[in-house]
């Protein structure tokens, strides 16, 4: 148990260092954007006195490193300042939207994870069959297609031609849970098609890689049926790579949801990021990017811990 806690502590420390570096990149990339923030807020008719007063109020008259340290100290306490456009607290702007994004990611994950693992086992059982080849072609097509393209295809057929689901995933007060599932089905399905193909192929590859192992050959020689060989002997030893790819795809569901939210006008944090970029609302942009980075790092840490727990060989360095 001590070895596991030590490894988790090392991974967590490395994740914090990476997050610190990312925060530096986020802050100074925003600083390098062309234009004057004060001029963008007040408009072209602003007087030099008003511009100077706003720069002092926003701290723009201080060196960049001072402003970065002040921003980082507040971000640690989850205080990202106020919006330049609306003057509302950034946490209030993105708090509810982040929960909407988490719901959409969870909706897609509940569908994608079990279905992709089951399909991965089936295609491993039917390796080199027609079903395996067709599944590989379809999965490669989904992996190769950008999210916005899949989203527009789903809108064309499921919303425009067949009228089964709404094209815009708008949310409103007083919605029932079933109405919420129906309105968010198309964006969730778009994410499912992208991540399910990747997880299915990785599950198939992990199981096929283990089928040449001696203990698998021994199980076959004892007369065990093919499904039992995979489910009882191969699948438990394939959990480590499967958990890794599942965790990485869950991270993608949250951090890569921007295009999907824009296509379906879904009120998530990705849509908030796009709106903030178009309005040059830099505090919101910085907060969204930092949240995306922290989420990705935490889910990568979860993937490492899951791999360590499911593979005892990773607990003992060579």
* CATH code of 125's domain: 1.10.3720.10
pLDDT at 39: 66
Question: Same structural domain for residues 72 and 210?
Answer: no
Residue 165 in domain: yes
Question: Do 162 and 286 share a domain, yes or no?
Answer: yes
Please, which residues bridge with residue 89 across strands?
82
pLDDT at site 1: 58
- Distance between CA 129 and CA 110 in Å, rounded? 28
Predicted pLDDT of residue 186 = 92
pTM of the predicted structure, to 2 decimals:
0.82
Q: Which pLDDT score, from 0 to 100, does residue 235 have?
A: 73
In a domain, 84, yes or no: no
Q: Give pLDDT, residue 80.
A: 85
Instruction: Please tell me whether residues 279 and 191 are part of one structural domain.
Output: yes
What was the pLDDT predicted at 187?
92
Is the domain of 303 the same as that of 187? yes
Q: Are residues 186 and 299 located together in one domain of the fold?
A: yes
pLDDT for res 256: 75
What is the per-residue pLDDT for 314? 60
Same domain, 142 and 106: yes
Range of the domain at 195: 97-315
User: Within a domain: residue 275?
Assistant: yes
Domain shared by 303 and 162, yes or no = yes
Q: What is the pLDDT of residue 117?
A: 86
Closest CA to 98 of 268, 288, 244, 274: 268
- The answer to whether residues 188 and 309 belong to one domain is yes
Residues 194 and 257 in one domain: yes
28 and 116 share a domain? no
Domain identity same for 184 and 42: no
What pLDDT is recorded for position 92?
Answer: 87
Q: Which ranges of the chain have pLDDT less than 70? A: 1-3, 34-44, 59, 310-318
Give residue 189's pLDDT. 92
pLDDT value of position 40: 66
Count the domains in the chain: 2
In a domain, 88, yes or no: no
Structure confidence at residue 107 (pLDDT):
92
Which pLDDT belongs to residue 318? 52
Residue 87 lies in a domain: no
Cα–Cα nearest to 288, from 20, 143, 101: 101
Residues 6+ apart with CB under 8 A from 87: none
Residues 14 and 44 reside in one and the same domain: yes
Residue 156 lies in a domain: yes
């Amino acid at each position: 148990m001590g070895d596991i806690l030590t490894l988790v502590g090392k991974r967590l420390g490395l994740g914090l260092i990476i997050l610190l570096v990312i925060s530096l990149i986020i802050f100074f990339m925003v600083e390098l954007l062309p234009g004057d923030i004060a001029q963008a807020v007040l408009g072209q008719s602003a007087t030099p006195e008003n511009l100077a007063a706003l720069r002092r109020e926003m701290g723009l008259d201080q060196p960049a490193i001072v402003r970065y340290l002040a921003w980082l100290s507040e971000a640690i306490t989850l205080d990202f300042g106020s919006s330049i456009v609306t003057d509302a607290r950034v946490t209030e702007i993105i708090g509810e939207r982040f929960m909407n994004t988490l719901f959409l990611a969870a909706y897609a994950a509940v569908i994608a994870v079990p279905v992709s693992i089951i399909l991965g086992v089936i295609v491993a059982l039917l390796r080199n069959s027609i079903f395996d080849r067709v599944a590989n072609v379809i999965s490669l097509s989904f992996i190769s297609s950008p999210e916005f393209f899949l989203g527009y295809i789903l809108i064309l057929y499921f919303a425009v031609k067949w009228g089964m689901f709404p094209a815009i995933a708008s949310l409103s007060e007083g919605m029932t849970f079933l109405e919420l599932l129906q309105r968010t089905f198309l964006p969730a399905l778009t994410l499912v098609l992208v991540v399910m193909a990747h997880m299915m192929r990785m599950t198939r590859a992990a199981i096929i890689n283990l089928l040449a192992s001696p203990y698998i050959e021994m199980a076959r020689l004892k007369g065990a049926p093919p499904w039992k060989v995979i489910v009882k002997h191969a699948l438990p030893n394939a959990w480590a790579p499967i958990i890794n790819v599942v965790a990485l795809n869950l991270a993608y569901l949250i951090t890569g949801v921007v295009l999907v939210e824009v296509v379906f006008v879904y009120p998530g944090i990705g849509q908030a990021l796009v709106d903030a970029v178009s309005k040059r609302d830099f505090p919101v942009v910085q907060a969204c990017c930092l949240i995306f980075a922290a989420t990705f790092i935490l889910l990568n840490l979860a993937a490492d811990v899951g791999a360590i727990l499911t593979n005892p060989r990773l607990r003992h360095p060579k």
